[in-house]
Copies of this chain bind each other. A is one copy, B any other.
């Protein structure tokens, strides 16, 4: 993966609806080699998928929360069952095991506070937990799905991507 591949990825992370010809123009390549590079990036799993990002408020989700969980002192099997159950909860978008003074972090969306309370009740009844903290989002200050490729190993620091000039 070279600098041109990284440029392509930076563009596709920002807007995957551009045509191959437009992307090629932006990275200084004609459509065929640009298309071949994209195919390779998809085949090798660097590009995992292409998705549509929705506006949570426009589909009725008013609450998003960060939840930290400290597990009680339970056996491996209990914790594994907990993990499977949490993974299956649709309101959980992100779920990770972490190192620190908590064991798990979750990012949760719900329609409103009563729905969150219902979620919370279901979560805490899965297994006895030592501590659970919920942080409700008051203001979304930044939300990115794009990885900062300018910081990736091998990247020369680059300026942000300019739109391809309309006049060519």
Contacts and interface: CB of A to CB of B under 8 A. Distances in A.
**Copies of the chain in the assembly:** 2
A165 interface: no
Contacts of A105: 66, 135, 137
Contacts of A15: 49-51
Contacts of A141: 83, 86-87, 95-97, 104
A28 interface: no
A111 B154 CA distance: 11
A90 B46 contact: no
B52 A13 contact: yes
Contacts of A143: 93-95
29 contacts: A6-B59, A12-B51, A12-B52, A13-B51, A16-B51, A46-B58, A46-B59, A48-B55, A49-B53, A50-B50, A51-B53, A66-B105, A83-B141, A86-B142, A87-B142, A94-B142, A94-B144, A95-B142, A96-B137, A96-B139, A96-B141, A97-B139, A99-B138, A100-B133, A100-B134, A100-B135, A101-B133, A115-B151, A145-B145
